């Protein structure tokens, strides 16, 4: 019986390969720092690992593909949630990343069970996939929630600062012209520039109501509408839930 592993060449390392690998690693780290994008380093770690397993082992190919997709997706979401305080991507895409890792682990286990002579690499890959999956759900949400709350508070504080300056601008227009802008287009024409955006990525909304006006902004899909009414300035900014 011929050995099925005879055509699989072991990895060959050399000084040249080491120097090239070091140069690539340094370039990736430099690009990561320059772009402030840790997900670049994450991809640079996962992709070569999967390629090495693909080339030098008999690991299940479908399992490797799902493992790479799931590991990168969950890693990228962890960076967004913990490092940037952005929980939206994790809320939408975490189930897909988890499913990909789970499918990859099942594929590795299925191959190990069916092929009794299969390499232990399948058990190792399956264990790694399950470990990553469990670790993500155990550690990322508890660390990500405070980061998201802190980022939301920062955005809200800076948005409120901008709103106060816009209210002062509108009051100056009224003191100069004797009237408030009749609508947002009129306001833009008077100020000579578009209405600025909030820290949440949407512009302030202006609405004239008789002799008064409303200035409002939205704080995300679940955040509701925050409104300032010039008719009741003592009320300040109040929230209107969706």
Do 24 and 48 meet the contact criterion of CB atoms below 8 Å apart? Answer: no
- Pick the more confident residue, 203 or 139: 139
> Is 100 found in the same domain as 57?
yes
Q: What pLDDT does residue 17 have? A: 57
Q: What pLDDT does residue 1 have? A: 44
**How much is the average pLDDT of 112-132?**
82
- Pick the more confident residue, 166 or 42: 166
Last residue within a domain, chosen from 145, 170, 204: 145
Give the structural domain span for 71: 15-145
> Is 103 found in the same domain as 76?
yes
Last residue within a domain, chosen from 145, 167, 185: 145
Residue 40: is its pLDDT beyond 90?
A: no
- Pick the more confident residue, 223 or 122: 122
Q: Among residues of the chain, what percentage have pLDDT more than 70? A: 81
Structural domains of the chain, count: 2
> What is the C-alpha separation between 237 and 242, in angstroms, rounded?
16
| pTM, to two decimals | 0.71
- Average predicted confidence (pLDDT) for the chain: 83
Q: What pLDDT does residue 32 have? A: 63
Last residue within a domain, chosen from 145, 179, 214: 145
The pLDDT tens digits of the residues spanning 1-38 come to 444 444 445 555 566 656 666 666 666 666 666 666 77
Q: What pLDDT does residue 6 have? A: 45
Residue 129: is its pLDDT beyond 50?
A: yes
> Is 160 found in the same domain as 129?
no
Q: What pLDDT does residue 135 have? A: 94
> Is 168 found in the same domain as 198?
yes
Which tokens in the block code for residue 121? 């690499």
> Is 171 found in the same domain as 83?
no
**How much is the average pLDDT of 68-80?**
91
The pLDDT tens digits of the residues spanning 149-188 come to 999 999 999 999 999 999 999 999 999 988 899 999 999 9
Lowest mean pLDDT among 40-49, 67-76, 232-241: 40-49
């Amino acid at each position: 019986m011929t050995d099925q592993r005879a055509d699989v060449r072991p990895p060959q390392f050399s000084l040249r390969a080491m120097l090239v690998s070091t140069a690539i690693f340094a370039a990736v780290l430099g690009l990561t720092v320059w772009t402030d994008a840790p997900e670049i380093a994450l991809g640079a770690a996962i992709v070569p690992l999967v390629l090495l397993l693909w080339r030098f082992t008999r690991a299940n190919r479908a399992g490797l593909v799902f493992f790479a997709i799931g590991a990168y997706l969950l890693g990228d979401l962890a960076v967004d949630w913990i490092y940037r305080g952005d929980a939206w991507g994790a809320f939408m895409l975490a189930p897909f990343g988890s499913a990909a890792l789970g499918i990859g682990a099942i594929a590795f286990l299925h191959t190990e069970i069916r092929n009794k002579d299969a390499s232990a690499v399948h058990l190792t890959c399956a264990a790694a996939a399950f470990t990553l999956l469990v670790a993500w759900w155990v550690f990322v949400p508890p660390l990500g929630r405070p980061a998201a709350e802190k980022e939301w508070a920062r955005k809200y504080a800076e948005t409120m600062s901008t709103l106060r300056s816009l209210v002062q601008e509108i009051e100056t227009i009224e003191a100069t012209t004797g009237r408030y802008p009749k609508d947002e287009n009129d306001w833009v024409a008077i100020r000579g520039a578009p209405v600025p955006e909030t820290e949440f990525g949407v512009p302030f909304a202006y609405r004239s109501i008789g002799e008064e006006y409303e200035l409002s902004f939205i704080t995300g899909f679940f955040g509701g509408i925050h409104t300032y009414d010039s008719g009741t300035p003592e009320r300040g900014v109040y929230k209107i839930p969706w």
